[in-house]
Every structure is written in structure tokens, then in C-alpha cells.
Structure 1
Amino acid sequence: MQAIPDTVDAWRMVTARRTFQGSLPVAGLSRLVEALADPTGTVDYDVEFGRDELGVAFFAIRARTELRLTCQRSLEPFALPVAIDTRLGLIVREEEEAGLPPGYEPLLLESAEFNPADVIEDELLLALPLIAVKPGLEESEASWSTGPDEAPEPERGNPFAVLDRLKKSG
């Protein structure tokens, strides 16, 4: 296997059933870098072009990396392991999306040529959490108990107790 070129002809790759394997520097994925605390590291990928048993042209992506995010609760950086394993059905018109088998995501091609690294970056962006929280912090509950120098709040009675007493006496 070899590293993926910057631009490929999707239909030529599908016909040849090409596979590529390699790594991309995270720092080279400009849209992804904007969401990261630190752009160090690489994305290891294994991609495959082909047709399934139904004749559907696909682009399969398996990618693994560790992305450095900022925890939105503690504001500390942390490493988030990300693993992608997806199969994209190649389509040229939006109407073709309905014909894709279950488990396929659509990849709408505006022309035969596209940059596979951009698609890998898109999948990594989709894998990012909406709100980044360092593992272990999402389970911790904030304790709102009173401290030693705070007096506990007095218990309040039922505000309708007076009405209940009036009802019984009357």
C-alpha cells in the first residue's frame, strides 16, 4: 500500500479497487486545527475504493488519532482518542442518497476528482464532541452542600398548614 495522493479520480480509483495507507500530520488539517488545543500528532489512515456486492461505489475510511482538546469544564488540555471506521457511498446527485444501502453515508461528488485528505478531515470534525469534557469529569457531580462556616437553611413549614388548622377548628 502507498500514501494517498492529494487529488484522486474517484471513478478510476473505484474501478481499480485502490487502497492507500499512511499518515497525515494533524497540523496540516487547517479546519481541524481550529478546534484543537494543540495541533501535534498524526492521523493514521487506511482507505479503500471499490464496489460492494450491490454495485454501489464506495470510499471506506479507517483512521485513528489522538486529538488534543481543551476541556470546557476544567479548561485543561486533554487527549481524546478518535477512531473512525466509515463507508461513504459515492453519489453525483442528492437524489441518489436514498438508494444507498444501510450503513452508508453519502459523499456527494461535484466532480470526479476530490482530495481524500479533506474527506478524512471532515470525518474527524464530525467525530469531535459538541462540548469537549475531559474523561472522568463528566461523571463528577458538583457538590452544593453548605460549608463549615455556612449555617444550614432553616426548615420551612408547609405554608398551607395554617389553612388546614383553620379548616379543622371551624
Structure 2
Amino acid sequence: MKHNQVLLQVELSIEPNALKKVDFCAPQSYQGTGFLSISDLPRVAEEASTIIPGDGFDWSVKTHFEDSPGSEPHQILDLGLKGRLHLVCQRCLQGCAIDLDEKCRFVLVLADVEADAYPIEDEKQEPLVVNQHFNLLETIEDEVLLSLPLIPKHPDGFCEPHTSTFGDEEGEVAANEHENPFNILKNMKKN
């Protein structure tokens, strides 16, 4: 690719099915914005405790070519995600809204070998293997899933930890029934 070459700027479709086949191998750059509902992202929908109309993610994509010393320019993909998903709070076991606002940067490569050779210490961007029929929708869904908290919970002070359904008396009876196995050793030492 020549440095003075003007690249075609392609506007991405907002239709989820159109995002399943994007030709990132063509010498052109892409940009686009849209909204994906939870139903457009089936793996994300499996994680949701409740799906409320209007829940989903605004996405934005922009690619550009960046010079790389000693080699051809690399294509860079900037992905932005912003939206809401309802999960189960692990403290109170009630539904809680999780708001995501993520920005990711990828360097687009054509083969796994290139991705494997990419420096691990580069935390600003990670390699993404692309082809002529790249599934951008799947990558968006992957990034949403990776952005979810490991332990979803309400902000501190919003909810109380989930307590056992057993009453106090039942809990005490259950504790007394399970005698400490080391009491036998304690009694042996006394004798």
C-alpha cells in the first residue's frame, strides 16, 4: 500500500446480519455506528436475568491504517460499546442493571502466525485475525461478554447479602447435630 494512496471509506450497515460478513482484507477503511438489542446477541441474552425493552448496546467502529516501521501499515480497529444489561446480583440474588462503557483497540492481522508473533506487552491493542468474511457481530458480542463483571452486584449499601432461608432455631439445631469430630481427640487426651 502506498503512503499517498487515498482509501475508500465504507459505512457499515446497522443491520446485525450485515455485520456478520465484513471484508477487512480489502484496502479500505470502515466506520459505522448502530444499536444492537439483547436479542441480537444470543450469548449475551443467556447471561441476562431479565430482558427489558431498550436494553442493548450502542456500538461504534472505525478503522484506519497506521504506519509500522519496517513493514506495511497495519489496519487498526477502534470499537466502542455502551449499554445496559440486567444480571443477578450475587449479594442479594435480585436483578441489577449493569452499565457498560468500553473502548477496545485491535490491530488487524491476516493469520494466526501474525497474531502469535504480536508483542504481548502491548496493552493498548491486541491482534485480531480477520478475513474477507469477518464476523464483526461476533466480535462485538465477545467484547460485551468479556466486559461483564465476574461477580455482578449492586453498589455498596444498595442491597443486603442474601441470608439463609432457615430460621434461627433450625440453624442452631443443625449446628448442634453436627458434633465437632475433634471432640473425641480432646476427650482422649483428658483420659
How many residues are aligned here?
141
Query: What's the TM-score, normalizing by structure 1?
Result: 0.71
Provide the rounded CA distance (Å) in 1 between the counterparts of 2:65 and 2:51: 35
Match of 1:132 in 2: 152
| Cα offsets for 1:94-152 (capped at 9, x unmatched) | 3323335541112123x32112111111000000111211221599899xxxxxxxxxx
In 2 relative to 1, CA 141–26 (structure 1 residues): closer, same or farther, beyond 3 Å? closer
In 2 relative to 1, CA 116–107 (structure 1 residues): closer, same or farther, beyond 3 Å? same
In 2 relative to 1, CA 53–103 (structure 1 residues): closer, same or farther, beyond 3 Å? same
Secondary structure in structure 2 of the residue aligned to 1:114: coil
Match of 2:32 in 1: 20
Match of 1:104 in 2: 125
1:3 aligns with 2:17: no
Q: Check the 8 A contact 1:3/1:23 in 2, yes or no.
A: no
Alignment of 1:50-129 (within 5 A): 50-54=64-68, 55-97=73-115, 98-99=117-118, 102-109=123-130, 111-129=131-149
Q: Check the 8 A contact 2:91/2:161 in 1, yes or no.
A: no
Provide the rounded CA distance (Å) in 2 between the counterparts of 1:28 and 1:68: 15
Secondary structure in structure 2 of the residue aligned to 1:96: helix
Match of 2:43 in 1: 31
In 2 relative to 1, CA 42–139 (structure 1 residues): closer, same or farther, beyond 3 Å? closer
Q: Determine which structure has more spread, i.e. the larger CA radius of gyration.
A: 1
Cα RMSD between the aligned structures?
A: 2.7
Provide the rounded CA distance (Å) in 2 between the counterparts of 1:39 and 1:127: 18
Aligned residue type for 2:137:
A
1:43 aligns with 2:82: no
Aligned residue type for 2:39:
A
| Range with bigger deviation, 91-100 or 127-136 | 91-100
In 2 relative to 1, CA 52–39 (structure 1 residues): closer, same or farther, beyond 3 Å? farther
Cα shift at 1:43: 0.8
Provide the rounded CA distance (Å) in 1 between the counterparts of 2:35 and 2:28: 22
Match of 2:184 in 1: none
Q: Check the 8 A contact 1:47/1:60 in 2, yes or no.
A: yes
Unaligned runs of 5+ in 1: 143-170
Provide the rounded CA distance (Å) in 2 between the counterparts of 1:53 and 1:37: 45
Unaligned runs of 5+ in 2: 1-10, 163-191
Q: Check the 8 A contact 2:92/2:160 in 1, yes or no.
A: no
